[in-house]
Copies of this chain bind each other. A is one copy, B any other.
């Protein structure tokens, strides 16, 4: 919560903004990973649960699913970047009116 500390140097020479950015990155990757686990589980794992092990078909499916999910992430990211300005507008619409100081 660096914003509660103003610009005073943190104890022990810790740059709070740097920490905050690293935490945001960590949380983003974790969220992404969790969604990948969940999506690929829905796509590849049979819900009969007759045995505790991944069978051959499920294993191969998982490998392809991870690769495809990563490709989709890249494609969507490129799209969002190319839309740049439009996205910024969407962000403002989303918080429309109620966050202007």
Contacts and interface: CB of A to CB of B under 8 A. Distances in A.
A80 interface: no
A98 B29 CA distance: 9
B1 A4 contact: yes
A33 B10 CA distance: 36
Interface string A1-21: 100111010111010100000
A95 interface: yes
Nearest to A52: B79
Contact of A95 (B11, B14, B30, B95): B30
Interface of A: 1, 4-6, 8, 10-12, 14, 16, 26, 29-30, 33, 37, 94-95, 98-99
